[in-house]
Structure 1
Amino acid sequence: MTTTQPRHGSAGAAKGQLTEMVWDPVTRIVGSLGIYTKIDFAAKTVAECHSTSSVFRGYSIFMKGKDPRDAHFITSRICGICGDNHATCSVYNQNMAYGVAPPHLGEWVINLGEAAEFMFDHNIFQENLVGVDFCEKMVAETNPGVLDLANRTPAPQSEA
């Protein structure tokens, strides 16, 4: 649920007007996420922003006693969406721990793999997890006020 609350005279607000915005929970991810911000829209600055997760993942616990060289295999299977990110971070951590660095071409291979996974993840997330929330039929059934507002809101150059 998104909430906003104007705050007057808060520290860090150059124009004196901070709007506090909260998105909690952000769903459709593995583990509920909350995002908390304080924004000065007049000055176009973010005074404060942080996120929290209410689901304990336990990486540091279930990796205890495991061979660090297996970390990328184990952590990549924690999430069905972003396994590549966990694997890549594990590999980078191993490289730092062992004091090694891949050759320049190796970095290119890692980056290309990450780019391919990004495209895959984006499609899975957008089309299967979030996309259904934006279809007209779903919004009409679950939040008709939003659909009514969308239908009444002008969309410049929509006929182009």
Structure 2
Amino acid sequence: MATKTPEQQRVMVKEMSWDPITRIVGSLGIHTEIDFTNQQVLKCYSTSMIFRGFDIFMKGIDPRDAHFITSRICGICGDNHCTCSCLNQNMAYGVKPPALGDLAFNLAETADYIFDHAIFNDCMANVDFCEQMVKETNPTLLAKAENTP
């Protein structure tokens, strides 16, 4: 029977989960198994409490319509679904946009990135940090903030 070396015995593999990650429709969960000794992610998968059924309702639909349909699924991340549909179509049809097309695409993605972050931060996340919410949920933190120079 082979024995393990001291290095092999010290391998630190840790399971880590973030579930739920709130402020995402369907409460996303991320589950990982990480080998910190060898700096490797052994397993990583995501789960969601919501079933959207893209693969079911897109059956029989012309793939060229996918970006129009999938972008309407979510009020926040529609561009992400549209982008994935367009990139998949490019791969499926062997389309390589010209450099100016890639630039226009990247500029549009950047604009949506800024828009998404404004919506998320201002309308979904920052609500947790407003004075009224902190006063109700964590009054000692509010008192500390008020007394901080």
For the aligned pair, the TM-score class normalised by the smaller chain equals 0.7 to 0.9
Q: Choose which of 56, 61, 65 in structure 2 pairs with 1:61.
A: 56
How far the C-alpha of 1:21 sits from its partner, in A, is 4.2
- Provide the residue aligned with 1:4 in structure 2: none
Specify whether residues 139 and 19 from structure 1 end up closer, same or farther in structure 2 by C-alpha distance, changes over 3 A only: farther
Alignment of 1:66-145 (within 5 A): 66-144=61-139
% identical equivalent positions: 63
Residue in structure 1 matching 2:144, options 130, 135, 151:
151
Give me the whole-angstrom Cα distance separating, in 2, the residues matched to 1:32 and 1:127: 19
Identify the structure with the greater strand proportion.
1
State the TM-score, normalizing by the size of structure 2.
0.76
In 2: Cα distance, 1:110 partner to 1:68 partner? 20
Q: Name the Cα RMSD after superposition.
A: 3.1
Give the TM-score normalised by structure 1: 0.71
Radius of gyration: which is bigger?
Answer: 2
Q: Name stretches of at least 5 consecutive residues in structure 1 with no aligned partner.
A: 1-12, 153-157
Residue identity in the other structure for 1:102: P
The number of equivalent residue pairs is 139
